[in-house]
Amino acid sequence: MNLPATKTAFSKINNLFYKSYLPNIIYSAIEVGVFDVLSNQALSCIDLSKEIETNEPITESLLEVLLAIEFLKEKDKRYSLTALANEYLTQTSELNQLGAVKSYIVNGGPFKNLTQALKGDIPEFDQNIWSTEKSIRGIEQGAKAGGIQRVLAFAKEIPEFKKATKMCDFAGNSGYYSFALMHENRKLHAHVYDLEIVCETANKIKKDEAGFDRISYHAFDVRAGDDFGSGYDLFFSSHYLYELGATNRLIDLLKKVNRSMKLGGLFISNHIAGKVNGDHRLTLAIVELMTRSMGFPTHCLPEKVLRKALSEAGFGKFRVKAPDERLASPTMLLSAIKIKEL
Ligand SMILES: C[S@@+](CC[C@H](N)C(=O)[O-])C[C@H]1O[C@@H](n2cnc3c(N)ncnc32)[C@H](O)[C@@H]1O
């Protein structure tokens, strides 16, 4: 896959679209009582959640959204209303505009059940949301808006990438990152590991693409502890490690990754790590709220967590590329070399 470089920033469009979710989010905050309870006091997230009887992790991500739009302010981890929210979003204010907010909410969309989720009725996360042909094609198209080009540019700068011949694309979906990396390194063969249903569809929709003779799809389920091969000199992981990072299972997985790789092999991670400003801060706060209210723990893998886990799993010689805010998904790229056999 040889993609043109992006000339403009898709994040400008993406950030606008995310703002369209705000009326539903703000209305849910009104419904569960965030503004009324904070109208005369500053509370920590834990105390607020207790008072309004909401799920704490989801409440925490809701507060991040409200901070990003300056409806709340925070000091010493205690939240209070800004003058704007106090005047227009509390029941007791004679000037409240709660009806106006309600008139903007839409039925459907990712936040249609946010109030229920805040109240503890959280769905079980569906790991098959990326499994239909439509979603597989959609996620690849999304990655073409700069994500694939950025990973490729990062990899090209690393000497170990040029020498690599066998890569694992862990939870790689239809392998669109692999195709781009194989185009750059003609000796490289890719092994994509993903759910069985994804592999079946990928085999079908990618069969005519250049490089298909150098890619193999392997059905596996991380949750079942399935094997993901061995002998890799390149291991690529993109947008999958969030849950493991949040539930203290990352080190064990990375130790398995270590054992699947050759000494001196290259590991590359492409994940959201936070650390963004302006409109991106709001977009990522909304993404996090959406993720938690879908029953998934987080959509963020902080650099500190990843580095520590990699170090404990026998990796070193880190290289980091900070998030590029021109991209809709401003990920941090981090590479490491396997420096120790376990
Ligand atoms: C957010 S997508 C990331 C896809 C690709 N790596 C990227 O960065 O665009 C998550 C991927 O994980 C796969 N996945 C979800 N649950 C899985 C599991 N239990 N075992 C293996 N793969 C899984 C999905 O099918 C999907 O391809």
Report the separation in Å between the CA atom of 129 and the middle of ligand 1, taken as the mean of its atom positions. Answer: 9
State the closest ligand 1 atom to the C-alpha of 223, by its place in the atom list counted from 1.
Answer: 19
Secondary structure in 3-state letters for 200-233:
HHHHHHCCCCCCHHHEEEEECCHHHCCCCCCCEE
- pLDDT of the residue at 275: 81
CB 239 less than 6 A from any atom of ligand 1: yes
CATH of the domain at 325: 3.40.50.150
State the closest ligand 1 atom to the C-alpha of 172, by its place in the atom list counted from 1.
Answer: 6
Instruction: Say yes or no: 202 and 58 in one domain.
Output: no
Per the document, the length of the chain is 342
**Structural domain of residue 68, as residue ranges?**
12-118
Would you state the structure tokens that stand for residue 309, as one six-digit string?
């886990």
Would you state the structure tokens that stand for residue 284, as one six-digit string?
């990522």
- pLDDT of the residue at 13: 97
CB 197 less than 6 A from any atom of ligand 1: no
CB 198 less than 6 A from any atom of ligand 1: yes
Instruction: Say yes or no: 198 and 329 in one domain.
Output: yes
Place of tokens 């989720």: 117
Q: Per-residue pLDDT averaged across 39-51, rounded?
A: 98
Instruction: Say yes or no: 110 and 47 in one domain.
Output: yes
Q: Per-residue pLDDT averaged across 108-136, rounded?
A: 95
Instruction: Say yes or no: 99 and 155 in one domain.
Output: no
For ligand 1, atom 15, name the residue with the nearest CA.
Answer: 127
Report the separation in Å between the CA atom of 239 and the middle of ligand 1, taken as the mean of its atom positions. Answer: 7
Instruction: Say yes or no: 293 and 233 in one domain.
Output: yes
In this model, does residue 1 exceed pLDDT 90? Answer: no
Name the DSSP class of 173.
T
CB 224 less than 6 A from any atom of ligand 1: no
CA distances from 64 to 86, 126, 177, 273, 293 (A): 17, 25, 32, 15, 14
By DSSP bridging, strand 315-321 and strand 78-81 are unpaired
Instruction: Say yes or no: 93 and 152 in one domain.
Output: no
Instruction: Say yes or no: 18 and 73 in one domain.
Output: yes
CA angle 295, 301, 302 (to 5 degrees): 135
- pLDDT of the residue at 3: 94
CB 171 less than 6 A from any atom of ligand 1: yes
- pLDDT of the residue at 278: 82
Report the separation in Å between the CA atom of 12 and the middle of ligand 1, taken as the mean of its atom positions. Answer: 26
Q: Per-residue pLDDT averaged across 72-88, rounded?
A: 98
In this model, does residue 84 exceed pLDDT 90? Answer: yes
Report the separation in Å between the CA atom of 62 and the middle of ligand 1, taken as the mean of its atom positions. Answer: 26
State the closest ligand 1 atom to the C-alpha of 136, by its place in the atom list counted from 1.
Answer: 27
Region for 132 from its dihedrals, namely left if φ exceeds 0, alpha if ψ lies in -120 to 50, beta otherwise: beta
Q: Which amino acid, residue 312?
A: E
- pLDDT of the residue at 29: 98
Instruction: Say yes or no: 16 and 153 in one domain.
Output: no
For ligand 1, atom 13, name the residue with the nearest CA.
Answer: 171
In this model, does residue 52 exceed pLDDT 90? Answer: yes
pLDDT tens by residue, 137-186: 999 999 999 999 999 999 999 999 999 999 999 999 999 999 999 999 99
CB 59 within 8 A of CB 45: yes
Is 3 part of a structural domain of the chain?
no
Given CA atoms 83, 87, 88, 91 in this order, what sign does their dihedral have? positive
pLDDT tens by residue, 240-286: 999 999 999 999 999 999 999 999 999 999 999 988 888 899 999 99
Report the separation in Å between the CA atom of 128 and the middle of ligand 1, taken as the mean of its atom positions. Answer: 9
Report how far residue 331's alpha carbon sits from residue 30's, in angstroms, rounded to the nearest whole number: 32
Instruction: Say yes or no: 164 and 310 in one domain.
Output: yes
Report how far residue 301's alpha carbon sits from residue 195's, in angstroms, rounded to the nearest whole number: 22
Quickly count: other Cβ atoms within 10 Å of residue 131's Cβ. 18
3-class state of residue 79 by DSSP: strand
- pLDDT of the residue at 277: 83
CB 127 less than 6 A from any atom of ligand 1: yes
CATH of the domain at 72: 1.10.10.10
CB 29 within 8 A of CB 101: no
Confidence of residue 2 (pLDDT cuts 50, 70, 90): confident
Please give the tally of structural domains in the chain.
2
In this model, does residue 312 exceed pLDDT 90? Answer: yes
CB 238 less than 6 A from any atom of ligand 1: yes
Instruction: Say yes or no: 215 and 278 in one domain.
Output: yes
pLDDT tens by residue, 123-139: 999 999 999 999 999 99
Report the separation in Å between the CA atom of 160 and the middle of ligand 1, taken as the mean of its atom positions. Answer: 25
Instruction: Say yes or no: 237 and 186 in one domain.
Output: yes
Is 250 part of a structural domain of the chain?
yes
Is 5 part of a structural domain of the chain?
no
Instruction: Say yes or no: 27 and 166 in one domain.
Output: no
CB 151 less than 6 A from any atom of ligand 1: no
Report the chain's mean pLDDT, rounded to a whole number.
Answer: 97
Would you state the structure tokens that stand for residue 285, as one six-digit string?
């706060």
Secondary structure in 3-state letters for 258-318:
HHHEEEEEEEEEEEECCCCCHHHHHHHHHHHHHHHHCCCCCCCCCHHHHHHHHHHCCEEEE
- pLDDT of the residue at 269: 98
Report how far residue 289's alpha carbon sits from residue 23's, in angstroms, rounded to the nearest whole number: 14
- pLDDT of the residue at 97: 97
Report the separation in Å between the CA atom of 316 and the middle of ligand 1, taken as the mean of its atom positions. Answer: 25
Report how far residue 248's alpha carbon sits from residue 133's, in angstroms, rounded to the nearest whole number: 32
- pLDDT of the residue at 270: 98
Is 4 part of a structural domain of the chain?
no
